[in-house]
Every structure is written in structure tokens, then in C-alpha cells.
């Protein structure tokens, strides 16, 4: 289990190192089982990632009421966004790790509440023929969780209006790489629309791409 905590710390620091999410912003989690209890390790709230130690990584279960009581009783300090991590794990059995970032370009696009259309076939890496933008809700709320789950329908990543982005995968490396891909796509999209309205690939073409990308980056 300590290895998983170290993995969470590694990718939390990588958020800073790659400028995907600077200082204390964003969060990282990984699904696990502790003493027979299904749950997840998640980064703490308000701590600079370069200062992270294993004892600061919090284990939470897949039960919101238990978690809320546990946080009070044990004076735990999980990320304020733990609810949407929990809800993604509950609703997405294939989600083993989650990366949430306030990455510059994804945040810029999200501030306009825009879905990313199929202006480039790499949009398919997030799992659909566009990248959805979840409606805005205050951070840490159940409503934000609901909005994210809706935007992640048949997808592995989405934007979060006026906030940032979230991505999941079968491990932290995969989740982090998808977050990087989404950030790159958002950068390309911002540059593209400066020239006017881009050509959008058809549903038929994107369905072909989605089929082709099923086995893309399996490792």
C-alpha cells in the first residue's frame, strides 16, 4: 500500500513539474483496498505537492456518509474534491486512477463552458466524438460530482466549467497522460478558433477513429 501512496505523491509532484497544475491546485487519487475496505488514496487539501509525505495521503471509502464522519472524527484533511473522485470510482468500474488539474488551456476553454468538438481526431482519446464540459458548480459539492458524472458519460475525461479538467485511467500513468492529452487538445483548439470556425469531423469519421483507438496506448 505504501507503494501506492508513493505513486500518488509522484504524480502529484508531476502536476507541478509539468505545470499541468501549479502549487496546491488539482488533485490525484488511486483506487485501492485497505483492510478489506474498498476505497481510494487521495492527496490532501492545501499542501504544496513538493512538501507531500506518505502520512499526508488520505484513505477514504466508497461511502460518502462514512467519509464525512471519518474526516471529522479522525481530523483528516483530504482534497476538498474527494466527493467527485469517490463518485467517479463508484460510477466508472474501469477508473483505477484519477487526475484533476487546473491546467491553463483546459481552464481557459472551460471558462467559456465549451465542449471540444471533433476538430482533431485525437479528441477520441477521451472516449467520445467530443470532450464534454461539465456544468459549473461550487468545488467540493455533490452537484459538481453529478455534473462531472454526466459529462463523463461514455468518456474518460472532461472539462469542468470555470474550473479545469479531470481524467481517469487504469493506472496513474494512463490518467496523467490523458490529462496531458486533453491540455494539448485545448491548446490546439484555442489556436484553431483564432483563425475562424474549424472544419469538424463527421460522426461517421469519428466512429471509425474511436474503433481504431480502442487498442491505442493500452500500456
CATH number for the domain including 75? 3.40.225.10
Determine the pLDDT at residue 74. Answer: 84
- Pick the catalytic residue: 7, 54, 81, 211? 81
Does the CA dihedral 168-170-171-174 come out positive or negative?
A: negative
pLDDT band at residue 215 under the 50/70/90 scheme:
confident
Does the CA dihedral 207-120-123-11 come out positive or negative?
A: positive
- Inform me whether the pLDDT recorded for 73 exceeds 90: no
pTM for the whole structure = 0.95
**Which residues span the domain enclosing 75?**
2-215
Give the residue-averaged pLDDT of 64-82: 90
Mean model confidence pLDDT for the chain: 94
* pLDDT, tens digit (0-9, with 9 covering 90-100), for 6-48: 999 999 999 999 999 988 889 999 999 988 899 999 999 988 8
The answer to whether residue 183 is catalytic is no
Domain count, the chain: 1
**Among residues 190, 24, 174, which one has the least CA distance to residue 101?**
24
> What whole-number distance in Å separates Cα of residue 85 and Cα of residue 62?
10
CB atoms within 10 A of CB 150: 12
Q: Choose the weakest-confidence range: 28-32, 60-64, 115-119.
A: 60-64
Determine the pLDDT at residue 152. Answer: 98
Long-range contacts of 20-26 (CB under 8 A, 24+ apart): 20/101, 20/103, 20/176, 20/179, 20/180, 20/183, 21/100, 21/101, 21/102, 21/103, 21/164, 22/102, 23/48, 23/49, 24/48, 24/49, 25/101, 25/102, 25/164, 26/99, 26/100, 26/101, 26/102, 26/164
Q: Directed axis angle between helix 64-73 and helix 82-91, to 10°?
A: 150
Amino acid at each position: 500500500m505504501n507503494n501506492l501512496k508513493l505513486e500518488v505523491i509522484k504524480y502529484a509532484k508531476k502536476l507541478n513539474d509539468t505545470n499541468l497544475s501549479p502549487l496546491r491546485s488539482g488533485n490525484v487519487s488511486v483506487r485501492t483496498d485497505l483492510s478489506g475496505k474498498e476505497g481510494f488514496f487521495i492527496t490532501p487539501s492545501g499542501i504544496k505537492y513538493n512538501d507531500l509525505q506518505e502520512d499526508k495521503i488520505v484513505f477514504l471509502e466508497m461511502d460518502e456518509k462514512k467519509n464525512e464522519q471519518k474526516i471529522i472524527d479522525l481530523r483528516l484533511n483530504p482534497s476538498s474534491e474527494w466527493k467527485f473522485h469517490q463518485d467517479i470510482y463508484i460510477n466508472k468500474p474501469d477508473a483505477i486512477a484519477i487526475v484533476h488539474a487546473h491546467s491553463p488551456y483546459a481552464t481557459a476553454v472551460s471558462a467559456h463552458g465549451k465542449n471540444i468538438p471533433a476538430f482533431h481526431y485525437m479528441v477520441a482519446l477521451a472516449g467520445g466524438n467530443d470532450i464534454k464540459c461539465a456544468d459549473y458548480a461550487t468545488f467540493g459539492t455533490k452537484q459538481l460530482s453529478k455534473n462531472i458524472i454526466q459529462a463523463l458519460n461514455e468518456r474518460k475525461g472532461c472539462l469542468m466549467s470555470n474550473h479545469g479538467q479531470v481524467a481517469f485511467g487504469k493506472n496513474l500513468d494512463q490518467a496523467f497522460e490523458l490529462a496531458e492529452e486533453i491540455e494539448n487538445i485545448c491548446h490546439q483548439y484555442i489556436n484553431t478558433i483564432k483563425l475562424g470556425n474549424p472544419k469538424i469531423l463527421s460522426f461517421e469519421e469519428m466512429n471509425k477513429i474511436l474503433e481504431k483507438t480502442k487498442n491505442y496506448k493500452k500500456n
